[in-house]
């Protein structure tokens, strides 16, 4: 997003100059020649109603994605865990959103240094309606906040069905401040990866590799579900999965298109690439399913769409539409085969967050270094060094997120524990964590003994 701001500033300066010249004629042209700094200052102080309208819409679209994620994840789990799984996404609206406004935004976008921002904008100090580029500063903060929310929620797919809800909330709260905000600063806040030249248009490393690394770490620390390997872990509601994938694709138009931070040709490129890349991944995934599973599955189709969306995220504003099709098709292969391999192991990354987001984001980031042609040059334009830069950025984000996540989880484990008892886990996380069922059975009542609610068993599930 830092790179797009710079490109957008150049475009808007040219457009502003041409517009003023057309209206006022030669005097303005002379002003441009004699005092260009005055025009630059005027441009910096302007808020565009068109850009603001697009960013208002994009902020809403990205926020809606977290609800889509809840349906996507919720449909993939057994019915006894559907509410708990969906609540793991919805609770991020609250905790991740509030913490972003209180201090996360300042840590990510404060001046600070190469590693992290500062506390200059804590509690939104100084964040008001003044211009940030061509949109209000508070709108930029809100747009970025929606990214922090969904990134935290993504991790939940690796721990569904076995993590205490209170411990999960504590984890994503600490993770958002200690892991997400610094990584965001590295890439978009003027940190060391930005200076290094890493290309990440909308979050290949910041969002997806980051969340994928944390998900892998969490799956390893928590271990497998109590009934993992003993019974088939079948999706209980495939239409939910398809609905969630559709909502995610719709919202991703704002995720990638909004990362242009303006309603311009760069936003159009981002939206078009966000349409085409997942379409190509869907075709490739369907063919792979047909080849290896002998049928095209609905869950496979939905997963392929998400992988394509993830892969094009770092590239959306840097590559041509045809290149985005190539990225989407290529990215299907590593994620598809990793998922097929994972199900034969004891790695219980329940909903394949690492394969879809970690590997999908890494594939997209590397391919950005290959195909970049808009605002940057990649391997195909004679700049092989960009691929190396992309690889370094992936490895740095993965290592920091994975190691940091393990440390946070181990601390929480020592203080409050991470999992309920096996008996409660087998009963289902909905009732023990929320006192509710996703689907009523019989007369809709369920018996919960007082000692379960008030005694040690219930406490162990909190």
Please report, for the domain that includes residue 70, its CATH number.
1.10.3430.10
pLDDT at 6: 44
Pair 21, 133 in one domain: no
| Gyration radius (Cα) of the chain, Å | 23
Pair 377, 441 in one domain: no
Pair 316, 298 in one domain: yes
Q: Average pLDDT for residues 7-33, to the nearest whole number?
A: 44
Residue 1 confidence class, pLDDT cut points 50, 70, 90: low
Q: Which tokens is 59 given?
A: 């902020």
Pair 297, 439 in one domain: no
pLDDT at 89: 98
Pair 199, 240 in one domain: yes
Residue 445 confidence class, pLDDT cut points 50, 70, 90: low
pLDDT at 443: 54
How far apart are alpha carbons 181 and 179 in whole angstroms? 6
Residue 16 confidence class, pLDDT cut points 50, 70, 90: very low
Give the domain extent around 438. 423-461
- pLDDT of 30 strictly over 90: no
Q: Average pLDDT for residues 28-50, to the nearest whole number?
A: 60
Contact assessment for residue 254 and residue 59, using Cβ atoms and an 8 Å cutoff: yes
Sequence-separated contacts (24+) of 297-304 with Cβ below 8 Å: 298/238, 298/241, 298/242, 299/76, 299/235, 299/238, 299/241, 301/242, 301/245, 302/72, 302/241, 302/242, 302/244, 302/245, 303/245, 303/335, 303/339, 303/352, 303/356, 304/278, 304/332, 304/336
pLDDT digit string, tens, across residues 202-245 = 999 999 999 999 999 999 999 999 988 777 788 999 999 999 99
- pLDDT of 405 strictly over 60: yes
pLDDT digit string, tens, across residues 252-270 = 999 999 999 999 999 999 9
How far apart are alpha carbons 252 and 309 in whole angstroms? 7
Domains identified in the chain, total number: 3
Pair 8, 82 in one domain: no
- pLDDT of 135 strictly over 60: yes
Pair 244, 336 in one domain: yes
């Amino acid at each position: 997003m830092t790179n797009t701001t710079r490109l957008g500033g150049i475009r808007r300066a040219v457009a502003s100059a041409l517009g003023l010249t057309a209206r006022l004629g030669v005097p303005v042209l002379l002003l441009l020649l004699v005092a260009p700094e005055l025009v630059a200052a005027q441009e910096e102080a302007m808020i565009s109603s068109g850009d603001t309208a697009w960013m208002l819409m994009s902020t809403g679209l990205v926020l809606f994605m977290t609800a889509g994620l809840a349906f996507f994840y919720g449909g993939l789990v057994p019915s006894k865990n559907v509410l708990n799984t969906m609540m793991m996404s919805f609770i991020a609206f609250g905790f991740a959103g509030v913490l972003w406004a209180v201090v996360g935004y300042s840590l990510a976008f404060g001046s600070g240094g190469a590693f992290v921002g500062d506390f200059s904008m804590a509690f939104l100090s100084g964040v008001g309606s003044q211009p940030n580029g061509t949109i209000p500063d508070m709108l930029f903060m809100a747009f970025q906040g929606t990214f922090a929310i969904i990134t935290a929620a993504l991790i939940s797919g690796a721990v569904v069905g076995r993590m205490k809800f209170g411990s999960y909330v504590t984890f994503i709260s600490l993770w958002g401040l200690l892991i997400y905000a610094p990584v965001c600063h590295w890439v978009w806040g003027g940190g060391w990866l930005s200076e290094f030249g890493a290309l990440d248009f909308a979050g290949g490393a910041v969002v997806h590799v980051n969340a994928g690394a944390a998900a892998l770490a969490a799956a390893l620390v928590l271990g497998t579900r109590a009934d993992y390997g003993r019974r088939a872990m079948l999706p209980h509601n495939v239409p939910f999965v398809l609905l969630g994938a559709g909502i995610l694709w719709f919202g991703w138009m704002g995720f990638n298109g909004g990362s242009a931070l303006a309603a311009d040709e760069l936003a159009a490129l981002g939206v078009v690439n966000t349409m085409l890349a997942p379409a190509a991944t869907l075709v490739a995934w369907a063919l792979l399913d047909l080849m290896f599973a002998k049928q095209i599955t609905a869950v496979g189709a939905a997963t392929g769409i998400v992988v394509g969306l993830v892969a094009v995220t770092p590239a959306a504003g840097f590559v041509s539409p045809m290149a985005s099709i190539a990225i989407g098709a290529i990215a299907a292969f590593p994620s598809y085969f990793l998922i097929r391999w994972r199900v034969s192991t004891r790695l219980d990354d329940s909903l394949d967050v690492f394969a879809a987001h970690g590997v999908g984001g890494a594939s997209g980031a590397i391919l950005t270094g290959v195909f970049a042609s808009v605002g940057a040059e990649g391997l195909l334009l004679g700049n092989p060094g960009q691929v190396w830069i992309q690889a370094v950025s992936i490895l740095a984000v993965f290592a920091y997120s994975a190691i940091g996540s393990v440390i946070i989880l181990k601390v929480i484990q020592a203080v409050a524990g991470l999992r309920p008892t096996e008996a409660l886990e087998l009963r289902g996380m909905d009732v023990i964590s929320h006192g509710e069922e996703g689907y009523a059975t019989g007369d809709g009542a369920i018996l919960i003994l007082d000692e379960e609610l008030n005694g040690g068993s219930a406490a162990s599930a909190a």
